[in-house]
Amino acid sequence: MPPIIVTFVRIVDRMNYGIGRFAMYLLFVLMGILLWSSISKAAGQPSLWTLEMAQFFMVAYYILGGPYAMQLGHHVRMDLIYASLTTGARRGGMPSRCWR
C-alpha cells in the first residue's frame, strides 16, 4: 500500500479515537440535561428546551461514538439473520444454499 494512504489511515484512526473518547462524555451531559428536566418539572417550572437538547446530544453520542466502537470491535449489530447464514453468504456471495 502506498505510504501516503497508510499515513492517511493512521491520521483518521487517531482522529476517530480522539472523537470517540470525547463522545463518551456526551452521555454525562445528556444525563445532566435529563436530571435538570426532572428537577425543574418537580419544582413546577418545567424547562421547555430539555427534551430537544437531550435528543440532540443522544444523536451526537451515537453518530460520534459509532465509528469509535467499530474501531475497537465492540459495535453492536443485529445478527438475527446474519448468524444463520453460511460463511459464503456472510462474505457477500449469496450461493443458492446460503442457509444452514
pTM for the model? 0.66
Q: For residue 94, how far is the Cα from the chain centroid?
A: 28
When mean pLDDT is compared across 35-39, 65-69, 72-76, the lowest value belongs to 72-76
Distance CA 28, CA 79 (A): 29
Q: Give the Å distances, CA to CA, from 24 to 8, 50, 60, 66, 79.
A: 24, 20, 10, 10, 25
* Ranges of each domain in the chain: 3-90
Task: Pull the grid cell for residue 20.
Answer: 470517540
pLDDT averaged over every residue in the chain = 85
- Summarised one tens digit per residue, pLDDT across range 29-56 is 999 999 999 999 999 999 999 999 999 9
Distance CA 29, CA 66 (A): 18
Q: Which long-range contacts (CB under 8 A, 24 or more apart) does 42-48 make?
A: none
